[in-house]
Chains A and B, each alone.
Chain A
Amino acid sequence: NAGVMQNPRHLVRRRGQEARLRCSPMKGHSHVYWYRQLPEEGLKFMVYLQKENIIDESGMPKERFSAEFPKEGPSILRIQQVVRGDSAAYFCASSQGDSGNTIYFGEGSWLTVV
C-alpha cells in the first residue's frame, strides 16, 4: 500500500515563475492537508481539502497561493509569481478524515526560489 506520494521532491524556480506541487493521498484516503515548513520555523497548516471541496484554507496566504483536489487526479498546491520567501518544504498529508484516524505525511516537496 503506497504511502502519500508527493512530486516533485525538489523544485527550483526563478522569482516570478509558477510552482506546482502534486500530492496523491494514500489509497482509501479522501482528506488531504497541505503544510509548509520554513527554515527555523515549525510546521504550519495551510489548507484542508476533500474531493472537489476546500474545507479550511485559513492557513493559506491571501494572494498567489491556491489549492485544489479534483475528482480525478492528485491534489495540487499552486504558487504563482514565486518570491524568495516562498522557499520552504511543502508537506502533504492524508487521512480518512474522522477524528482518531491517523494522518500520514508525504516525503515533502522542497521549493527553492532563486
Chain B
Amino acid sequence: SQELEQSPQSLIVQEGKNLTINCTSSKTLYGLYWYKQKYGEGLIFLMMLQKGGEEKSHEKITAKLDEKKQQSSLHITASQPSHAGIYLCGAEGRSGGGADGLTFGKGTHLIIQP
C-alpha cells in the first residue's frame, strides 16, 4: 500500500517568513492533494497536482510535484496568522479514479508566531 511521509511534523514560523512543507511517497503519485485543517474543523481543499513538474499557486501558497512524481512540496510566502493549521497531503492510489480513496500523510502542524 502507498505511504506518505510528511516533513516536518510540526513547524513554528515567525509571521512574515517563508516556509516549505514536504510530502514524499513510497510509490508514484497519480494525483496529489493538499488540504488544510484547522483544529476541530474540516479539511479545506488547497490544490491538486497530477503531472510531473506541475506547479500551482493560489494567493501566497505554491505547490509543486516533482518530475518523478514521488515528492510534492507546499511553499508559503510571507506567512500570516491565517496560515496556521494542519497541512495534509493525500494521494490517489493505483491509477487514480478514487477507487482506493485517498491515502493521507500524518500532517504538518504549522504555528505562526506574531
A positions within 8 Å CB-CB of B: 6, 31, 33, 35, 41-46, 48, 55-56, 58-59, 91, 93, 95, 97-108, 110
Contact = CB atoms under 8 A, between A and B. Distances in A.
Nearest to B48: A102
Interface string B14-43: 000000000000000011010100001111
Contacts of B106: 41-42
Interface stretch (B55-63, B69-77, B96-104): B96-104
Q: How large is the interface on B (under 10, 10 to 19, 20 to 34, 35 or more residues)?
A: 20 to 34
A55 B107 CA distance: 27
A59 B30 contact: no
Contacts of B100: 45, 48, 56, 58
Contacts of A97: 97-98
Of B45, B48, B102, B107, the most chain A CB neighbours within 10 A belong to B102
A91 B92 contact: no
A44 B104 CA distance: 7
A31 B35 contact: no
A10 to B, nearest CB: 10
Q: Which secondary structure dominates chain A's binding surface?
A: strand
A100 B51 CA distance: 10
Interface of B: 30-31, 33, 35, 40-45, 48, 50, 88, 90, 92, 95-107
B35 A105 contact: yes
A6 B90 CA distance: 21
Nearest to A95: B98
B42 A100 contact: no
B33 A99 contact: no
A103 B33 contact: yes
Given A42-B106, A43-B88, A100 B96 contact: yes
A11 B89 CA distance: 28
Contacts of B42: 6, 91, 105-108
B31 A100 contact: yes
Contacts of A110: 40
